[in-house]
Chain A
Amino acid sequence: EPEVTQTPSHQVTQMGQEVILRCVPISNHLYFYWYRQILGQKVEFLVSFYNNEISEKSEIFDDQFSVERPDGSNFTLKIRSTKLEDSAMYFCASSGSLSYNEQFFGPGTRLTVL
């Protein structure tokens, strides 16, 4: 069964550094998402992406964040200058074309900002 994959599984970085989190969505999916979960808190929506552009973004997704689909398979989340409060688990998800079709989640990348 196809799955969403994410790399790396754990990323440690220094405050102020740029990080790129990578995701490979399920191949025939059209909608892509990033969510994050700070330890002990709820899973929060960051951004949705369709047809090579952002469809919606949350208040969390400020100018420090960007997303890209550089080729036909990868979907990346870049944080330009990481802050301590960016430490969280970041989940990528993808879904097909039907309305409210299931979102399939990746295993997550744990980002630790020191």
Chain B
Amino acid sequence: AQRVTQPEKLLSVFKGAPVELKCNYSYSGSPELFWYVQYSRQRLQLLLRHISRESIKGFTADLNKGETSFHLKKPFAQEEDSAMYYCALASGGSNYKLTFGKGTLLTVNP
């Protein structure tokens, strides 16, 4: 069975500081991993996925199969990055389901 672990429930940093949100996964197949973000009073939205290897809003995430990790990083946090971040693992092909971690609430202080 697949599992996603986000060890930090809360993370607080100052504006301009680097931020890393941790995500570890457990899955017997080839993982497809995503980061979703939920800003205050907004819906869950996709931030980035590992297969597209892109940087969105300055965030990047690298899949490390050896460490079974998919940590989300940003070199210089901004106040508008304050949100709930969820790591999710997909399984099932086109009709895939997402297995979410518990989420990390990031607060970026001025």
- A contact set with B: CB distance below 8 Å: 4, 31, 33, 35, 41-45, 48, 50, 55-56, 58, 91, 97-108
Contact = CB atoms under 8 A, between A and B. Distances in A.
Nearest to B4: A42
- 5 tightest A-B CB contacts, nearest first: A105-B44, A43-B100, A45-B97, A42-B102, A55-B95
Interface residues of B, number: 23
Contacts, number: 60
A105 B103 CA distance: 16
A44 B1 CA distance: 14
B101 to A, nearest CB: 6
A25 to B, nearest CB: 13
Contact of B98 (A35, A50, A55, A98): A35
A56 B92 contact: yes
B57 interface: no
B102 A50 contact: no
Given A43-B86, A108-B43, A98 B94 contact: yes
Contact of A106 (B43, B90, B95, B102): B43
Q: Which of B45, B90, B96 has most chain A Cβ within 10 Å? A: B96
Given A31-B95, A100-B51, A42 B103 contact: yes
B74 interface: no
A35 B100 CA distance: 10
Interface of B: 32, 36, 42-46, 49, 51, 86, 90, 92-103
Contact of A107 (B43, B51, B97, B103): B43
Given A43-B103, A45-B99, A56-B95, 18 more contacts: A31-B95, A35-B98, A35-B100, A41-B102, A42-B86, A42-B101, A45-B98, A50-B95, A55-B95, A58-B97, A98-B94, A99-B94, A99-B96, A100-B93, A100-B96, A101-B94, A105-B43, A105-B44
B10 to A, nearest CB: 13
A101 B94 CA distance: 7
B95 A105 contact: no
8 contacts: A35-B98, A42-B101, A91-B44, A100-B32, A100-B49, A100-B96, A103-B46, A105-B36
